[in-house]
Amino acid sequence: MRYAETGFNLEVDLTRGNIERVATDPELTELYLGGLGTNAKIQWDRVPPEVEPFSPENLLIFATGLLVGTPVVGCNRAIVSTISPQTGLMAFSMMGGFWGPELKYAGYDKLIIRGKSPDLVYLWINDDNVEIRDASHLRGKGSLEAAEMIRQELGDPKAQIASIGMAGENRVWFASIEQGRSSASRGGIGAVMGDKGLKAIAVRGTNDVNVARPAELIGMCNEVMEYIKFRNENPIPGVMPILAGLGSPQEMAIHDEKWHTENFAWGNSRVRRKGFWTEEVEKKWTDTMMGMRTRLVSCHNCPMKCGATISVPGLPTYMMKCFSKLTYTMAAMSDLEFGLKIAQSATEYGVDAFSAPQVMAFALELYEAGILTDADFPGMPSDNEERFFWLLDRIVRREGIGDVLANGTHWAAEQIGNGAQEYAHNNIKKHEQLPLKLGMLNPIYFLMYSTGEKINITQIEGNYPQAPFATREEREEFCKDWVQVPNEKFKEYFLNWELRGEKSIPHYPGIEATCEIVNWQEQMHYIDDATGMCAGLSSFPLKPPYHIHNLPTFISAATGMELDEEGLTQIAKRNRNLVRAFNIRRGMRKKDEKPPADHWKRRFPELEEELLNEYYRFKGWNEQGIPTQDSLHELSLGYVAEDFLQRGILQDKESGPSGTNSSEGSAS
């Protein structure tokens, strides 16, 4: 018997209408765990670099994490991966909610979709019965609207549904996949789903998920519940409210938005508004939220309440979480009421709440600058807020200028030309980022932004405090129960970290320490993405219930695999390198690894160069960021090394021109 996982994938070929249930190789679980890890392996094996995002050979994989469907608290994520139309690289986006566990209960670890349906269809996975059904009547329907219609026609209110809106249908490059109270938003994976002619996936499962060592596992789950209770009652002192607790940042529950509104940039990621957060604004926004928020809601088997049901008077109800609360508000320089209103349309249309507002603010900046003119915006209203609604509508329909903007700021700027590129200023790897513009270079964030392949800082950062604490006493206090650190060194780095002076950014933490801190934080995310654990209880917050010391035992007790810290670290490293290898094969190199030029006012080019080179060395990558032969072999990724040699991405150490590692990247 397979424990924690089902041992089966569901393979659906939409071109031929073929559906197969395929047994998986348990050895792959030992090597890559599941979720993102096994997705990366499948994509590496089956999606060669010539495959374009919108070609039928591109795979769209919905994976449940390895521990999803077990009682492990908060482990409910589905990992969706494909090739991003925007970056051309591997897109992987996670969604919580209830869809992932339902797929596991239906008896599948993954749903692998290939091909393209000639007509719009949806999938109905009901345990062993899987059908491809007509969805022509759902064309143009909102994501939540379509999901409700499907539940009605299936007559099953318990079906969990992931769907796309008009943006996905029309292949908007930042289209999301929506799932009621969660979404997989980054990288434009909704566009790939739309390209495949797939409107929705409805799932219902009634099977058992077994675990190997029940008593041990449940004991640990009970401890996690106790710890969450403790942390909910005892927030961490000395950090801003949204970082003091567990879960995704508690944007739905917390009304104090001083930090976001004054530190994040407004408009097209341009203006910081010091002194914005007045008592008057706080009262107004709190009233808005309390008037529209009907309930705080959770994901499957998790006591945190990161989401909320939002009912804007006169509009259909929708659900929201985290920072999408403010992205539209801040891009339009408006208020919360506008933000919650337009987010309703945006959720039904199915667009990424980070990219979409920025694309619209970018378009209006180009208009103000005269690069785009009235001729590009026929019929655009004069009111600022109405303009955003108007633009959103053009984008998701790909009408007029909307067709250009639907490719995101990078590609839109390339197409518009005439200096528009200067306005697409907040991208990494061609993808819009959080609107942060800060003063002094932070070496830790520099490396995370540069080398991250999740394209989203919140999915890379986490366990190490974002900023130093003011006094040594506060730092000592923080370190007292900081059991999550991999080793004591990290406490030293933090204890000595000062706000000003010699031991402050950009030169402290030192290069080696910075590499270790970045590596630790990233590693925790890669573990979560394989197990399906929500980052909000693990890799994202300070002092989470799950960490490198207890995760191996959770995995081991659930699956029966032998696993210790060293083994889990090795798997995380393997998965991380395989994702990178996939992207390297698609052409990613050092030149792509940089934060937006204006992210910090004060930059240190020499230090940055040294940081990046040193981090590459630390990771076992050559000077182009390509995993070396030695590190690939050490990670049992010999097949990647061979492929790289064949393609000339790496040169053989024996026969290469210089015979040293340092020449390996020159082939690019």
Site residues, other proteins (CB under 8 A): 69-71, 73, 98, 105, 144, 148, 157, 180-181, 205-211, 214-215, 217-218, 222, 225, 228-229, 232, 294-303, 305, 309, 311, 316-319
Q: Which of 133, 111, 117, 115 is nearest to 22 (CA)?
A: 111
What minimum distance in Å lies between the beta carbon of 179 and other proteins? 11
DSSP letter at 533 equals B
What minimum distance in Å lies between the beta carbon of 7 and other proteins? 14
Q: Which is nearer to other proteins, 309 or 421 (CB)?
A: 309
What minimum distance in Å lies between the beta carbon of 163 and other proteins? 13
Q: Which is nearer to other proteins, 149 or 265 (CB)?
A: 149
Q: Which is nearer to other proteins, 3 or 490 (CB)?
A: 3
Residue linked to tokens 């999550």: 484
Q: Which of 151, 133, 155 is nearest to 199 (CA)?
A: 133
Q: Which is nearer to other proteins, 147 or 645 (CB)?
A: 147
Q: Which is nearer to other proteins, 553 or 663 (CB)?
A: 553
Q: Which is nearer to other proteins, 252 or 372 (CB)?
A: 252
What minimum distance in Å lies between the beta carbon of 567 and other proteins? 24
Tokens of 310: 């939002």
Could you tell me the CA-to-CA distances from 389 to 369, 385, 400, 424 in Å, in that order?
A: 21, 7, 15, 21
Q: Which is nearer to other proteins, 21 or 229 (CB)?
A: 229
What minimum distance in Å lies between the beta carbon of 158 and other proteins? 8
Task: Please check whether residue 251 is in contact with residue 322, taking contact to mean a CB–CB distance below 8 angstroms.
Answer: yes
Task: Please check whether residue 615 is in contact with residue 605, taking contact to mean a CB–CB distance below 8 angstroms.
Answer: no
What minimum distance in Å lies between the beta carbon of 84 and other proteins? 29
Phi-psi region of 202 (alpha: psi -120 to 50; beta: other; left: phi over 0): beta
DSSP collapsed to 3 states, 110-161:
EEEEECCCCCCEEEEEECCEEEEEECHHHCCCCHHHHHHHHHHHHCCCCCEE
Q: Which is nearer to other proteins, 214 or 238 (CB)?
A: 214
What minimum distance in Å lies between the beta carbon of 536 and other proteins? 13
Q: Which of 340, 13, 353, 411 is nearest to 190 (CA)?
A: 353
What minimum distance in Å lies between the beta carbon of 294 and other proteins? 5
Q: Which is nearer to other proteins, 313 or 379 (CB)?
A: 313
Q: Which helix (H) or strand (E) holds 595?
A: none
Task: Please check whether residue 269 is in contact with residue 144, taking contact to mean a CB–CB distance below 8 angstroms.
Answer: no
What is the C-alpha to C-alpha distance for residues 518 and 200, in angstroms, rounded to an integer? Answer: 37
What minimum distance in Å lies between the beta carbon of 124 and other proteins? 17
Could you tell me the CA-to-CA distances from 529 to 65, 93, 153, 218 in Å, in that order?
A: 7, 9, 34, 22
What minimum distance in Å lies between the beta carbon of 209 and other proteins? 5
Q: Is 371 helix (H, G, I), strand (E, B) or coil?
A: coil
Task: Please check whether residue 76 is in contact with residue 299, taking contact to mean a CB–CB distance below 8 angstroms.
Answer: yes
What is the C-alpha to C-alpha distance for residues 394 and 402, in angstroms, rounded to an integer? Answer: 5
What minimum distance in Å lies between the beta carbon of 61 and other proteins? 24
Q: Which is nearer to other proteins, 181 or 525 (CB)?
A: 181
Q: Which is nearer to other proteins, 191 or 537 (CB)?
A: 537
* Angle formed at CA 184 by CA 253 and CA 5, multiple of 5 degrees: 105
Tokens of 64: 């449940």
Task: Please check whether residue 508 is in contact with residue 496, taking contact to mean a CB–CB distance below 8 angstroms.
Answer: yes
